[in-house]
Amino acid sequence: MYYCWFIMLVLWTILPGICQENPKDLAISVGNFHITKAQIFDEMTQKYPQEVQETIREMVVYWIIRQEATIENINIPQVMIQAKAKEEFRQFQEQIQQQTKQSWEQYLQKQGIQEKRLIQKLLRKWKYQLAMEQLVRLAEIRVKRIRVRHIMTDTHAKATAILQKLQQGIEFSQLVRQESLSESKMRGGELPILHPGDLEPNVDQVLFQLQVNEISQIVPSSWGYHIFQILEIYPERPEVSWAAVQTEITESLAKKLVTEKDLDWWLKKMSTKYPIQKHFQFAVEGSNP
């Protein structure tokens, strides 16, 4: 009780103002004192900048997914959404009961959570999650992609010596194990599947001109000096529709889920189609989304 009144006193001090000009912006009234939604937002950006950024990002991403899913005529079966939500709900129940040693009903009551609302949130999450996965894979299919492995050294002289050994017939995989300084050596030097723009421009320019099995010359980057070999090329299909590759996408997702890197690549593409304009500033310097 006293804590609630303390919060109201703080709000009275830091959020003075009257919103007679725009009643729709009104959030809270105490007598003749009014607090607007804009004032609350300003206060939240100052006190909780990271949480506000995450919320804004989620809202923007959800809007883009909804727009693109409509444009591409992507329709996720409701039964699939329900199955994913049901499985996550079951796992969450088990986790809570193991960690808290409470019954599910006791946990809900103590936390003030309604099971119905929790299920609704999970259904919404998986509706957008599954659509996002389809959109990312569709965008990948439409552009040229490559599988590549590399050997990385810290000097041009070392890279030159390795290139000479390759030209003499020594196996690429053997030199990866013996010479590479990259963490990818544990995977035989192989990098994740690359899209145009994933790497530095000068590296991109070299890689996307190579043919399958072709070995590059020495390529400098901010990480070191590289020798690349193309393992596989996925040709671009810019006009393909979602309906035409729906089965292919489903099979692809069964083998490899969409990663954060994949999502970031897709969002970067979307940012050129949907420019984001920010009409406020965070109080904490360097915390802009």
Residue 277, classified by CB atoms within 10 Å of its CB into exposed (0-12), middle (13-18) or buried (19+), is exposed
Q: Provide the pLDDT for residue 22.
A: 62
Contact 16, 43 (CB under 8 A): no
> Tens digits of per-residue pLDDT, 248-277?
999 999 988 999 989 999 999 999 999 988
* HSE-up (13 A, CA, CB side) for residue 33: 10
Beta-bridge partners for 28: 35
Q: Are 195 and 145 in contact (CB under 8 A)?
A: yes
DSSP reduced 3-state for 151: strand
Query: Domains in the chain, please, with CATH?
Result: 2-47 (no CATH), 52-141+240-273 (no CATH), 145-234 (3.10.50.40)
* pTM score over 0.85: no
pLDDT tier at 8, thresholds 50, 70, 90: very low
Can you count the helices (H) and strands (E) in the chain? Answer: 11, 5
